[in-house]
Amino acid sequence: MLVPLAACQDSTGSQPAADDLTLEVTAYPGQTYLLTTPDGMPAAGCNFVFSLNPTGAPGTTAAWAGGTLRFFAGADRTAPFDSVMLTRGEMDEHLGAGLRAGTRQSGTLPYIASIPFGMEAEFRYRVQGSLRSATVYAPCTVLVADAGAPPVISGLQVSVQPEPPLEAGDRVRVTWTVSSTPGLWETGFAVTGAFQAQFRMGALQQKETTFTAELRVPRSALLGEPVRVHAYARDLLVRASAPRSEAVGPVVDVTAPTLLGVSTTGASGDVLRGMFESGRGIPMRVLAQEGGALAYLVYETGPAGATVRDSVPLDTVGAQSVSLPTRTGWSGAGELRLYIRDNAGNRSRTVQAAPGEISFYPAGSAQSREALLPYPAQRQRHGGVLDVSP
């Protein structure tokens, strides 16, 4: 299809002088082709053909001075969605080395975009030191026999897998049907509410199809918020469907976190034992599992009959090291019990040290000095107690 161009002339609009040159340009979209990219999305491409007709006094020449290609979505030319600058060398390569009045020439510029598009080409050239330009527009669109109405979304369904209530780690299944008279370009949906996500899929030239997609609720989902799904579709003419939305939820957390193991010795499983210097803390390794986000390790420790209750934050799911604060002055047999709690207030099982397994000694005591003896003293770790023998 031939697309009429905006013919170029000098800035005054007057007839060309004897040594002047005016460039007239016409553009053909050439071969328009549709393809599917490796990620499954559609694309449109055109081999734009430009016919250049320099007019003026015979023998008058002009040199290219660069150019700009502006790309527009469909028929909308209010603002380009992208642009490309052409150098003088690129124009020499694709359109011919300069211009000569009375000598017609042509060139080709192939381009591919993720949607049907139009291209406005501005070619700049110099005549006797004067800068001129010529602009032309050519569409790279799909010809359809019957445009009909914009695409229609029907039967949007959003469900929780495997079943409600909706928690972090669960799957949200989205099913929707789209129909289009000229054929579809792409479809998908956006997620708002408890979390944000986008899903796109190609539907090149399909007339009526039902789509199904699943996504997993992330641990970072906001509790108490629903999951809102907003489906969309675009056809070959880049027309959008009317919005269609559904929601499920809200996202809740009713599952207790799992305390897989907690150890003060580095051993696997539940191992709470050792002698600990007061004021220096109780180091331990915690292994936990939670569908949402963990909040705190809640503990109760101290000398027998005089324990204190407090908590330390947990930042990750899995294995992590923490230290439980202890108070100066603690001494003798002690107690230790703990559990983990998530952001929703659910708590795990409680792990408790057996009687006699936890004890404290004050800083500066014989136990503290022995623990600081340097190598080569023979050290043997027995449980949480560091035995030092000469």
Q: Which residue has the higher pLDDT, 148 or 18?
A: 148
* pLDDT for res 190: 97
SS3 assignment, position 291: coil
Cα separation, 46 vs 110, in Å, equals 6
> DSSP code of 273?
-
Mean pLDDT over 315-325 rounds to 86
Task: State the Rg of the chain over Cα.
Answer: 37
Per CATH, the architecture of 152-248 is what? Sandwich (2.60)
pTM of the entire structure? Answer: 0.69
SS3 assignment, position 52: strand
Q: Which residue has the higher pLDDT, 18 or 329?
A: 329
SS3 assignment, position 12: coil
Do the beta carbons of residue 217 and residue 227 sit within 8 Å?
yes
* pLDDT for res 93: 93
Cα separation, 21 vs 128, in Å, equals 9
pLDDT bucket at 371, cuts 50 / 70 / 90: very low
Place of tokens 């708002």: 192
Pair of tokens at residue 349? 């099982």
Q: Is the model's pLDDT at 384 over the cut of 50?
A: no
Q: Is the model's pLDDT at 378 over the cut of 60?
A: no
> DSSP code of 241?
P
Residue 168 has φ and ψ, to the nearest 5°, of -60, 135
What secondary structure does DSSP assign to 158-226, as a single string? EEEES-SSB-TT-EEEEEEEEE-SS-EEEEEEEEEESS-EEEEEE-TT-SEEEEEEEEEPPTTPPTT--
Pair of tokens at residue 106? 């042509």
Cα separation, 82 vs 94, in Å, equals 20
Mean pLDDT over each residue of the chain, to the nearest integer: 86
Place of tokens 């015979």: 58
Of the candidates 287, 318, 322, the one whose C-alpha atom is nearest the C-alpha of residue 219 is: 318
Cα separation, 293 vs 282, in Å, equals 24
In angstroms, the Cα distances linking 298 to 71, 276, 279, 352 are: 59, 19, 19, 12
* pLDDT for res 74: 62
Mean pLDDT over 36-43 rounds to 90
Instruction: Write the pLDDT tens digit of every residue in 278-292.
Output: 999 999 999 998 877
CATH class of this structure's domain 21-140: mainly beta
SS3 assignment, position 149: coil
Do the beta carbons of residue 287 and residue 261 sit within 8 Å?
yes
Q: Provide CATH 2.60.40.1930 ranges for the chain.
A: 258-389
**Amino acid identity, position 346:** N
Q: Provide CATH 2.60.40.10 ranges for the chain.
A: 152-248
Cα separation, 240 vs 227, in Å, equals 23
Q: What percent of the chain has pLDDT over 70?
A: 87
Q: Is the model's pLDDT at 49 over the cut of 80?
A: yes
pLDDT bucket at 379, cuts 50 / 70 / 90: very low
* pLDDT for res 100: 94
* pLDDT for res 141: 83
Q: Is the model's pLDDT at 238 over the cut of 90?
A: no
Instruction: Write the pLDDT tens digit of every residue in 247-286.
Output: 999 999 998 999 999 999 999 999 999 999 999 999 999 9
Mean pLDDT over 339-344 rounds to 90
Per CATH, the architecture of 258-389 is what? Sandwich (2.60)
